[in-house]
Amino acid sequence: MIKYLIFLLVIFKFNFLLAENNVIFFVESALQNNPKINAERENLKAVKQNENISRSEFLPSLTISGSQSSIETSNIIDQSGTRSVDAKRNTETKKISVDQKIFQGFQGYNNFKKSRLEFEKAKNEYKQVEQETILSSVSAYYDLIFKNQSKNFNLANVDLFERQVESDRSRLQKGEISLTDLAQSESSLAGAQAAFIKADSEYISAMAEFERINRIIAPKDVNDNFDVSFIMPPSLDNAFELSNSNNPSLSIARINLAISEKELNVEKAKLSPSATLNYSKTENKDLSATVDEDEKETVKATVSWPIIQGGKNFSSIKKFKHKKEKNALLLQDKENEIKTQTATSWSFFQSAESVLASTEAQLKAAEIANEGITLEYDSGNTRTTLEVIQSRSLLLEARISNAEAKKDFIISKMRLLSQVGGLDLKAFKKPQ
């Protein structure tokens, strides 16, 4: 039983560590805790209510009112000098009124359509912020991995040079190397220590940036795992098609144009006649009399048609025409901008893939060369201290370049996905 419990604890701890270092875990944390995206969620809820408000314009309005008054008179003297007796009168009035808008020149219809467009705009604004949050979160995560790797590579390099300095001091005493060789080793050690300090500082900064973006404490030991897959556009033409349909920034520009068209229609409708139907029922009671009550029912149809308003409506129409033209021009500019950005993102994605392949080949060659040169140097062959130092420096550069290329490749994928409107939690899938 005890063994079973220990097994469960080990599995739980293992799964927890996996979750702790899982990129999706950090993305979800950022999406839940980032103030900017939470603000967009609240904005989405608020804009949704505009649709309900505009829909109410088509429904009747009901008003109920009531009043009660008390009038008391005394010491009233008429023109003949006759004094009247004191009088007191209590009255009560109740009124119910129903108004129904019959026609407003399609103002209500266009306002309702406008409210729906504004909700669609809010959804795209939310999507835009969501993509920005995911991109920032994942970029911070993989930058943390890269900076951790860089720190570890430099630490290992310090360890190698420390051992080399110890070995070279022993070899100097045996007369196998010169004092110059030892000085080169000691100089390289000092340089490696300085490089490690810098790498460690960059790692600490990356942790702080990670915590700022993801609103969570950075893991102490991040997985050195760049193996994340995304379903990418198969071609540049396909990327153009996707961005044209799904890019939230482009969708917002199109919706802005559609909203300005509805606003223009509303202003035009204000020049049209409007009709309203009203029904009211009023009850009046004199509470001070034995019987004094009357009821009145009224049905009224009102038609109005604005003729002259000092040119206000015509100026408003011109204003919204200009606004519509403005949004049309902005849409054209946005279409060109998105196309350029998509092509650039595609180019970076292709370039990052090529750079990654090159750094992998470079790393493999550097590992082979360093292993051979080190063995030859340790065996006392013709390899010099300078050659060993150069070999290790090239290997360190190759390792760091390869790790950075892996990071850049993943981020280039996400930037392209963001550009085509496909960067969300569904975009992440487990590697096969």
Report if residue 104 sits inside a domain: yes
Contact by Cβ (8 Å): 184, 389: yes
Over residues 156-177, mean pLDDT? 89
Report if residue 128 sits inside a domain: yes
How many domains are there within the chain?
A: 1
Contact by Cβ (8 Å): 295, 345: no
Q: At what angle do helices 312-378 and 385-419 cross, to 10 degrees?
A: 160
Please give the angle made by the CA atoms of 325, 420 and 138, to the nearest 5 degrees. 125
Over residues 372-380, mean pLDDT? 84
Tell me, what amino acid is at 87? Answer: A
Over residues 145-165, mean pLDDT? 93
Report if residue 265 sits inside a domain: yes
Beta-carbon-side half-sphere exposure of residue 234 (alpha carbons within 13 Å)? 0
pLDDT of the residue at 94: 78
Residue 414 has pLDDT above 50, yes or no: yes
pLDDT of the residue at 99: 75
First to last CA, the chain: 36
What's the CA gap between 51 and 34, in Å, rounded? 27
Pull the structure tokens for residue 83: 């004094």
Q: Please give the mean pLDDT across all residues of the chain.
A: 83
Percent of the chain with pLDDT over 90: 48
**Domain interval for residue 155:** 25-68+89-427
**Burial (0-12, 13-18, 19+ Cβ within 10 Å), 42:** exposed
Residue 26 pLDDT grade (very low, low, confident, very high; cuts 50, 70, 90): confident
Record the pTM: 0.78
Q: Which of the residue ranges 98-112, 241-255, 263-277, 372-386 would you say has the lowest mean pLDDT? A: 98-112
Report if residue 238 sits inside a domain: yes
Residue 351's SS3 state is helix
Over residues 290-309, mean pLDDT? 70
pLDDT of the residue at 432: 42
Residue 148 has pLDDT above 50, yes or no: yes
Contact by Cβ (8 Å): 178, 112: no
* CA 168 vs CA 139, 153, 347: distances in Å: 43, 22, 49
pLDDT of the residue at 322: 95
- pLDDT tens track for 309-340: 666 778 888 999 999 999 999 999 999 999 99
* CA 299 vs CA 64, 93, 102, 278, 280: distances in Å: 16, 19, 14, 6, 7
Kindly report the CATH number assigned to the domain that includes residue 163: 1.20.1600.10
Q: Pick the residue with more confidence: 356 or 96?
A: 356
Report if residue 9 sits inside a domain: no
What's the CA gap between 406 and 356, in Å, rounded? 6
Q: Pick the residue with more confidence: 171 or 74?
A: 171
Q: Please spell the DSSP secondary structure of 361-424, one letter per residue.
A: HHHHHHHHHHHHHHHHHHTTSS--HHHHHHHHHHHHHHHHHHHHHHHHHHHHHHHHHHHTT--S
pLDDT of the residue at 288: 61
How many CB atoms neighbour CB 277 within 10 A?
14
Over residues 381-386, mean pLDDT? 79
Helices (H) and strands (E) in the chain, counts: 9, 4
Residue 20 has pLDDT above 50, yes or no: no
- pLDDT tens track for 81-114: 565 555 566 777 777 887 777 666 678 788 889 9
Residue 431 pLDDT grade (very low, low, confident, very high; cuts 50, 70, 90): very low
Residue 226 pLDDT grade (very low, low, confident, very high; cuts 50, 70, 90): low
Percent of the chain with pLDDT over 70: 82
Q: Pick the residue with more confidence: 81 or 216?
A: 216
Residue 293 pLDDT grade (very low, low, confident, very high; cuts 50, 70, 90): low
Over residues 39-49, mean pLDDT? 90
Residue 19 has pLDDT above 50, yes or no: no
Residue 282 has pLDDT above 90, yes or no: no
Question: Distance between alpha carbon 184 and the CA centroid of its chain, in Å?
Answer: 52
pLDDT of the residue at 368: 94
CA R_g for the chain: 39
pLDDT of the residue at 88: 63
Could you list the beta-strand ranges (E) of 202-292: 274-286
Report if residue 50 sits inside a domain: yes
Q: Pick the residue with more confidence: 305 or 234?
A: 234
Report if residue 126 sits inside a domain: yes
Over residues 173-200, mean pLDDT? 91
Q: Which of the residue ranges 51-55, 83-87, 136-140, 338-342 would you say has the lowest mean pLDDT? A: 83-87
Residue 16 has pLDDT above 80, yes or no: no
What's the CA gap between 424 and 418, in Å, rounded? 8
Report if residue 411 sits inside a domain: yes
Residue 166 has pLDDT above 50, yes or no: yes
Q: Pick the residue with more confidence: 104 or 240?
A: 240
pLDDT of the residue at 5: 36
Residues 6+ apart with CB under 8 A from 34: 133, 213, 215
pLDDT of the residue at 97: 80
